[in-house]
Structure 1
């Protein structure tokens, strides 16, 4: 049973450029422009009309955009929940300008070991994450640690939790790695390892969407009976100011927005692509977290019930439920 027909989230790519070279990501290899303030303002107005509640300013590294603070401020003032994930390299420099504008601020950290983390990220950013935590706390911000879990760093989860998350009173987000396109993430987690993650997710100050675990146990999305609702729950806007469908990772088709996102999203051509969400051949076995999370929230099925407790827990701990209620 469908609970919500309107989209929930916008993944707004401010640029594909990045100052890191993560082994599990290919976005930094792409040439890219930067989005413009004028386009952002118009698109945010249309996203509001469409019913979107959360704007994820992403990349690449979103802090490379010199006007990112103005975009976050604009979205936040319009009542959107704002979210941003950074490798930490630029955060200490920009922290004052970002203060109070990011509801969900995530620092990427995949190991408590400096060498191990920096090797995976392709750049020396561990010390910057540590500095970012200190600066954010000093400013009264409540950042999260986003830990992307692979088989080869699973052993580091406990150490990050004990040495970094708990002492700093942070929230740990467990993000199981996923494969897409030609990007490989190594050997997949076993059922026993997934159970370990599931148990870890029940600890205090830890968020793990149980729907992710269930989906992996089920072999991912199946095109015969898709759980993925990427195109109808999530709008993807590219740095070229295009609407990308059905999701960023497939990017089957792009439509120039040209100042008219609202009409474009409701057009027959886009609607036809929405009908194919989760049903394309490439969608078989997909477990991409950023599209599954909103998919779990709009349809009452087993994934909805699996995801609900952790979603409530996170929004309670972050206090974002208040803003969601005010703007729903």
Structure 2
């Protein structure tokens, strides 16, 4: 049973440029412009008309955009829930400009070891994450730590939890790694490792979408009966101001928006691609978290029920439900 036919999320790529070189990501390899204020303003108006509730300003590294605070302020004042994930390199410098504008602020941290974290990210950013935590707390912000989980760093979870997130009263978000477009995530987690991760997710101050675990046990998305609803739950806007379908990671086609996002989204050509969500050959076995999370939220099935407890836990902790009901 589908709960809503409206899209709920916009992944808004402000630029593909990045000041890190993560081994599990290829976005930073792409040439990229930066989004423009006028386009963002018009697109946000259309996103509101379409029913979108959450805007994730992403990249690349979103803090590389000099006007990122302008975009966040516009979205925040329009009533959107705003999210942003950063490697921390620029946050201490920009923190005062961002104060109060990001509902879900995430700092990426994949190890309690400076050497291991910096090696995976391809740049020395561990110390900046530690500084970012302190700066954010001094400003009264409530950031989260997002930990991308691989087989090789699973053993680091305990130390990150005990030494970093719990002492600083931060939520630890567990983000199981996924493969796409030939970008490898390493050896897949075993059933025993998935059980460990699932158990860890039940701890105080930890968020793990159990739907992610269940989907991996099931072998990912299946094209004959797709769980992925990427194209109808999520709008992807590129730095070139194009609507990308069916999702960024497949990106089979980009449609120039030309100040007409609302009509474009309902056009015949876009609707035809929406019908292929989760059914393309590359969709087989997909476990991409950023599209599965909204997919689990809009259709009542086993993944919906698996995801629901952690979703409620996180939204109660962050207080984002108040934004949804206008409090």
TM over 0.5: yes
Partner of 1:3: 3
CA apart distance, 1:326: 2.1
Aligned mates of 1:130, 1:243 — CA distance in 2: 36
Partner of 1:118: 118
Secondary structure at 2:310's aligned position in 1?
helix
Within 5 Å, give how 1:177-216 maps onto structure 2: 177-216=177-216
Partner of 1:18: 18
Q: How many residues align?
A: 327
Query: What is the CA deviation profile of residues 182-213 of structure 1, one whole-angstrom value per residue up to 9, with x for unaligned ones?
Result: 10011000011011010000000000000000
Partner of 2:310: 310
Secondary structure at 1:135's aligned position in 2?
helix
Secondary structure at 2:21's aligned position in 1?
coil
Gaps of 5+ in 2: none
Query: What is the CA deviation profile of residues 261-307 of structure 1, one whole-angstrom value per residue up to 9, with x for unaligned ones?
Result: 00000111101100110000100000000000000000000000000
Aligned mates of 1:192, 1:271 — CA distance in 2: 41
Partner of 1:266: 266
Aligned mates of 2:250, 2:27 — CA distance in 1: 13
Q: Which runs of 4+ in 1 moved over 4 A?
A: none
Kindly indicate whether residue 34 of structure 2 is the aligned counterpart of residue 34 of structure 1.
yes
Secondary structure at 2:10's aligned position in 1?
strand
TM-score (norm 2): 1.00
Secondary structure at 1:326's aligned position in 2?
coil
Kindly indicate whether residue 104 of structure 2 is the aligned counterpart of residue 104 of structure 1.
yes
Secondary structure at 1:96's aligned position in 2?
helix
Aligned mates of 2:182, 2:275 — CA distance in 1: 25
Aligned mates of 2:24, 2:122 — CA distance in 1: 10
Partner of 1:150: 150
Query: What is the CA deviation profile of residues 90-137 of structure 1, one whole-angstrom value per residue up to 9, with x for unaligned ones?
Result: 000000000000000000000000000000000000000000000000
The RMSD of aligned alpha carbons is 0.6
Kindly indicate whether residue 253 of structure 2 is the aligned counterpart of residue 250 of structure 1.
no
Aligned mates of 2:221, 2:297 — CA distance in 1: 15
Aligned mates of 1:235, 1:225 — CA distance in 2: 22
Within 5 Å, give how 1:19-168 maps onto structure 2: 19-168=19-168
Aligned mates of 2:191, 2:285 — CA distance in 1: 16
TM-score (norm 1): 0.99
Aligned mates of 1:57, 1:265 — CA distance in 2: 19
Query: What is the CA deviation profile of residues 29-68 of structure 1, one whole-angstrom value per residue up to 9, with x for unaligned ones?
Result: 0000000000000000000000000000000000000000
CA apart distance, 1:325: 1.8
Aligned mates of 1:158, 1:275 — CA distance in 2: 42
